Structure 1
Amino acid sequence: MIARKHLRRPIHPLYCLNAPVAVLSALALLSLAGAAQARSGQDKFTRETARAKAILAKMTLDEKIGQLIQVEHGSLKDSKDVDKYHVGSVFGGGGSGPRDYTLKGWTEMAQGFATTSIGTRLGVPIVYGTDALHGNNNVPGATIFPHNIGLGATRDPALVRKVARATAEEVRATGINWSFAPCVTVPQDYHWGRVYEGYGQDPALVAQMGAAAVEGLQGNNLAGETSVLACVKHFAADGGTDGGHDQGDAKIDEATLRRVHLPGFAAAIQAGAGTIMPSFSSWNGVKCSGHKHLLTDILKKDMGFEGFLISDWNAIDELGGDYKKDAEISLNAGMDMFMITDKYQQFFDNVKALVAEGAVPQSRIDDAVLRILRVKLAMGMMEKKYTVAVSPAVQKTFGSAAHRQIARQAVRESLVLLKNDRQTLPIAKTIKRIHVCGRGGDDVGMQCGGWTITWQGQMGDVPGGTSILNAIKKSVSPATAVTYSKDGTGAEGASLGIVVVGEIPYAEGVGDRTDLALPQEDRDAIANLKKANIPIVVVLLSGRPMILGDILAQSDAVVAAWLPGTEGQGVTDVLFGDYKPTGKLSFPWPRAMSQIPLHYDDKAADPLFPYGFGLGYHG
């Protein structure tokens, strides 16, 4: 549990974790119209209301409906559709990008869409969104930072703010101005394939880190040339689904929802987040994208959110099957903008018909558009001086040495030392020979995990990255020999072995697992290394705690490195003692699958390593 004095902003009493359960439950069920702290963080949007209303008054119904549409750029049937349908936003990411998949190609694409929208009748620019989850991870050559699970282990909100600021600069270097981040999920079950998107299990930690990420992305001035609109996700309780199933059902009461899953959103709203993305998942059988009590009563009214809601990818398709009816349900529930691929024309026609029929009130359309316009105004997009050009200074930040140094710091602070018998670590840089092995020993793609260049990520090279093997070679003395074999053979005569094992890249439901034991290939590599009768250091790359089994007994030292990203030297900073480990577990570590779900505050549980565990170096 984190002391409240370390939170940069106080959490509203509605979300206080130290309150007695009876008091908390009572408060949770109240509708608190006076969420003053949250609304103070949202005043950058409310103060644009008058200007937004003036623009709204000039808009036709067609132009209003267009603002509700965010279309995937690859699904546009004709580039003229941006004008024809008055499109309010375009998005890419998760492997979707321009034909020229370079910094230049991304920039030209984003600028092209923005230029087209500025030339429309009212000149309301599009806002371009991308999944920049751990750096501008869709663009080759970008700095790839640790995923959130690693950042949570740092317990360092100032560092998270720096990571998000660097990410914002690299996103703006491509001409893009909206990131679908941060994720403030509170994962309850390690079966879930999105555990690594969460900072941890303590809602207070998640709130602290999520607020810092929003502040880093959006900066001090949302209209600044290096600021990016944040999108906090996924509202709400996506980490609390039954059995840890992705897009599943969170079968919890409202008091639990507010106590566990809402503090991260409350803190992000206080920090000034401009957009929030409802989850694909359900709350007690009702899809979040169509849940009026959740989106309107709780989020907009109780929590004081004044920005706009953006759906997840084609989320309204999940609501029932009748596309027109699905649009009606989601709009009336409080959704403001809709992320759509190939059905954007159908959506436009359906919403126009729904308004004509009275199924969706004109006032609901006006409210959604007003919210979108206020955010665009706060971003400076409606000013005469607004330009789609990217300054050369901003482009120079892309993949820069300064950003890679921040990433390296994030990596070394995120590592958690789980075992260190006989002071195996740190390793002397003058050691005679180190044998490196394992699937992850020389694989930057495995270090980065999912959401890296492609949606699922991929094994192999990532441009600009440094593998752990190459980082080891850079760290040791010229007299030290470094050898490598993927399967752990050939270690005879070495002074020490380092085996890098863990999970191959995955994202979302593809990563849902029933068994979190290490794959046989990893176990074989450790067994082969063991035959050399040398000290063994296990570096574990994973998006969640894994079942270590007898691997813990076979090794002399174990380091949880999570999914560190491109900067492998952050790992070797700890292995060779340039940085003494400070990372602490933000999730308890299970002994066996039978312990899952395992909760950080369960006093009766007997985890292998408790929440907050992390060894250091002595002397």
Structure 2
Amino acid sequence: MLLLLLLLAFDASLSRAALYKDTSQPIHARVQDLLSRMTLEEKIGQMTQIERENATGSVITKYFIGSVLSGGGSVPAPRASAATWAAFVDGLQDGALATRLGIPIIYGIDAVHGHNNVYGATIFPHNVGLGSAGDPDLVKRIGAATALEVRATGIQYTFAPCVAVCRDPRWGRCFESYSEHPELVKAMTTIISGLQGETPAKGVPYVGGSSKVAACSKHYVGDGGTRSGINENNTVGSYKRLVGTHMLPYFDAIDKGVSTVMISYSSWNGIKMHKNRHLITDILKKRLRFKGFVISDWQGIDRITNPAGANYTYSVLVSVTAGIDMIMVPYEYTKFIDTLTSLVKQGFISLDRIDDAVRRILFVKFTAGLFEHPKSDSSYRSQIGAHRDLAREAVRKTLVLLKNGKNAKYPLLPLSKTASKILVAGSHANNLGNQCGGWTITWQGASGNTTLGTTILQGISNTVSKNTQVVYEESPSSSSVKGGGYDFAIVVVGEPPYAETQGDNLNLTIPQDGANTIESVCSSVKCLVILISGRPLVVAPHLSSMDALVAAWLPGSEGQGIADVIFGDYDFQGKSSRTWFKSVEQLPMNYGDVEYDPLFPFGYGLKMGKK
């Protein structure tokens, strides 16, 4: 009789256990069923995201880890192929599937302008350029293309888009922002529909099949408004201003069903966002009815204290009770797990708060289809680098013509394809790394041919007549230019690659080598200057010497798109997503300010004159 009772109990357990695996059940029912079976250890594991370099299948299994990420430049092997990436991610997934409940991991990566960690992937223009294109459909198509390339590597989650409203170009992350204008940033949230697919119900997180990825709106909230544009600094202002300027894009992102929201390192009126319960729980989760999960930034909870990590228990307590659901703890994950477990067992953090976090995480995993299709799909392998034509189109649309001719009656552009001899000069003319900028292959990016693509010089050479002599000299002297017999020169200069705090810049001048090249060349021959930068720079002192000036922002891997426009195959379409200032003393200065005296206003952009 005892054996019969045990068999019946085991059979009932099997029947009950099948509910969360039953695809015919509503997702909310599956989530609740799975949550009811989880131990505290399993729940806290789901709240933990660790870095790839520390992740193994056995670590995932032992600690029930819910998520893994690749930080900038964190790759399974140098120049790893899509197959190598997928095999690595699948190996970690095997560890998750070997756990008692078989809850799959969700793997995250910063695919912020294409799948930019991956060698050979299509690198699209950074957001500041896409804002200047002002084309929501283009951005949506870029999202869809990026999702395909991310899925080619077996990854299901990207930490994009950044919907920061950069109000001061001195900020090192300004190129990650579509614009200084919140309405333009809001319009660009169409990228979420490209990444995830169209949500069937307004405001419900949704990932539409194996060709899509979960998206992440970041960094909530006010990251683009810090004083003096200093990264991770304090944003000061009223709640009304916070909502109208910095929170506005989140309304549309949530409506479009964005799966996750990442919290900002910055503070609002002196309160660190990573511990701001009012803005995370009361506003984001309750008032805005965000249904996905909230994730911290990289070691974001450590930075609640100064110095970072000074009181780790406090940091875990206030961040989790504030409403952060998944904690990015790339390295010391056992310390986080032990600390959070202790806080729950001692009653400092309620089990309801833990259940809310895990419920949200599971909901996103179910909507992403991870329980049905946890492993990579080899049919997507060929998608890496397959969207160069789209990226080239994007480059054409992002370019902003700021000046064309020293005299309006005699425009320099479009340039002649049949010129006898052209000089191409400057540090950025033949350098893929420089034209891609930060967050390319590595976190900070790097100069040189760091990935595959077409440099601006190559694009020029591909476009002109075979009889045209193209001479490239990075830093020519005035005398060599004067005696060179050139019809005109194309000077390509700008900022070196950077990301985050390393890009904070209080003077915003063109680097000296670039400024010297402009003066040497443009004083000696008719010249077009193409500026490669993540934001407006000080150009007023050099403007009179230029015959034409183009803001190309950070165009990415397809430099051919620039040649398409400057030689007249396409006209300029871009309208500046940012105000160009006369001097840094005017900053911060944005469209709509009472004292608005720009060199070139927000929305400025010329068309080419006809020759």
TM-score by length of 1: 0.90
Matched, 1:282 2:261: no
Kindly indicate whether the alpha-carbon contact (under 8 Å) linking 1:488 and 1:526 is maintained by their aligned counterparts in 2.
no
Percent of aligned pairs with the same amino acid:
45
Kindly indicate whether the alpha-carbon contact (under 8 Å) linking 2:57 and 2:94 is maintained by their aligned counterparts in 1.
no
Q: Aligned equivalents of 1:294 and 1:396: distance in 2?
A: 42
Q: Which amino acid is the alignment partner of residue 420 of structure 1?
A: N
Q: Aligned equivalents of 1:229 and 1:530: distance in 2?
A: 48
Alignment correspondent of 1:53: 32
Q: Secondary structure at the match of 2:301?
A: helix
Q: Which amino acid is the alignment partner of residue 515 of structure 1?
A: N
Kindly indicate whether the alpha-carbon contact (under 8 Å) linking 1:448 and 1:566 is maintained by their aligned counterparts in 2.
yes
Q: Between Structure 1 and Structure 2, whose CA radius of gyration is higher?
A: 2
Q: Secondary structure at the match of 1:141?
A: coil
Alignment correspondent of 2:360: 371
Kindly indicate whether the alpha-carbon contact (under 8 Å) linking 2:219 and 2:264 is maintained by their aligned counterparts in 1.
yes
Q: Secondary structure at the match of 1:315?
A: coil
Alignment correspondent of 1:74: 53
Q: Aligned equivalents of 1:342 and 1:192: distance in 2?
A: 27
Cα distance per residue 1:392-445 (max 9 Å; x no partner): 2x1111101xx1000000001000000001210101111111100000011111
Q: Aligned equivalents of 2:599 and 2:423: distance in 1?
A: 28
Matches within 5 A, 1:492-507: 492-507=484-499
Alignment correspondent of 2:19: none
Matched, 1:229 2:218: no
Relative to structure 1, the CA distance from residue 583 to residue 47 in structure 2 (aligned partners, 3 Å threshold; closer, same or farther) is farther
179, 197, 208: which one aligns with 1:219: 197
Alignment correspondent of 1:316: 301
Matches within 5 A, 1:93-132: 93-103=71-81, 104-132=83-111
Alignment correspondent of 1:143: 122
Q: Aligned equivalents of 1:297 and 1:312: distance in 2?
A: 20
Matched, 1:391 2:378: yes
Q: Aligned equivalents of 1:285 and 1:101: distance in 2?
A: 42
Cα distance per residue 1:182-208 (max 9 Å; x no partner): 000001111110110110011111011
Alignment correspondent of 1:408: 392
Alignment correspondent of 2:167: 188
Matches within 5 A, 1:524-603: 524-531=516-523, 533-603=524-594
Q: Aligned equivalents of 1:151 and 1:617: distance in 2?
A: 20
Cα distance per residue 1:309-365 (max 9 Å; x no partner): 111001111122211221111010000000012210011111111111100000000
Q: Secondary structure at the match of 2:550?
A: strand
Q: Secondary structure at the match of 1:539?
A: strand
Matched, 1:486 2:465: no
53, 63, 82: which one aligns with 1:85: 63
Q: Secondary structure at the match of 2:540?
A: coil
Alignment correspondent of 1:37: none
Kindly indicate whether the alpha-carbon contact (under 8 Å) linking 2:151 and 2:376 is maintained by their aligned counterparts in 1.
no
Alignment correspondent of 1:460: 448
RMSD: 1.3
Q: Which amino acid is the alignment partner of residue 453 of structure 2?
A: G
Q: Aligned equivalents of 1:193 and 1:108: distance in 2?
A: 35
Q: Which amino acid is the alignment partner of residue 316 of structure 2?
A: A
Matches within 5 A, 1:226-305: 226-305=211-290
Q: Aligned equivalents of 1:117 and 1:467: distance in 2?
A: 42
Q: Secondary structure at the match of 1:324?
A: helix
Kindly indicate whether the alpha-carbon contact (under 8 Å) linking 2:86 and 2:376 is maintained by their aligned counterparts in 1.
no
Q: Secondary structure at the match of 1:436?
A: strand
Task: Specify every segment of 5 or more residues in structure 1 that has no aligned partner in the other structure, as ranges.
Answer: 1-45
Task: Specify every segment of 5 or more residues in structure 2 that has no aligned partner in the other structure, as ranges.
Answer: 1-24, 199-205
Q: Aligned equivalents of 1:558 and 1:412: distance in 2?
A: 15
Kindly indicate whether the alpha-carbon contact (under 8 Å) linking 1:462 and 1:566 is maintained by their aligned counterparts in 2.
no
Kindly indicate whether the alpha-carbon contact (under 8 Å) linking 2:396 and 2:564 is maintained by their aligned counterparts in 1.
yes
Matched, 1:424 2:409: no
Kindly indicate whether the alpha-carbon contact (under 8 Å) linking 1:440 and 1:541 is maintained by their aligned counterparts in 2.
yes
Cα distance per residue 1:134-186 (max 9 Å; x no partner): 00000100000000000000010000001111111000000001000000000
Q: Which amino acid is the alignment partner of residue 524 of structure 1?
A: N
Kindly indicate whether the alpha-carbon contact (under 8 Å) linking 1:153 and 1:416 is maintained by their aligned counterparts in 2.
yes
Number of equivalent positions: 566
Cα distance per residue 1:479-529 (max 9 Å; x no partner): 111001110334321100000011000000100011111122111111221
Greater than 3 Å deviation, 4+ residue runs: none
Q: Which amino acid is the alignment partner of residue 505 of structure 2?
A: R
Alignment correspondent of 2:157: 178
Q: Aligned equivalents of 1:464 and 1:353: distance in 2?
A: 49
How far the C-alpha of 1:462 sits from its partner, in A, is 3.0
Q: Secondary structure at the match of 1:550?
A: helix
Q: Which amino acid is the alignment partner of residue 252 of structure 2?
A: A
TM-score by length of 2: 0.91
Kindly indicate whether the alpha-carbon contact (under 8 Å) linking 2:57 and 2:93 is maintained by their aligned counterparts in 1.
no
Q: Which amino acid is the alignment partner of residue 237 of structure 1?
A: G
Alignment correspondent of 2:515: 523
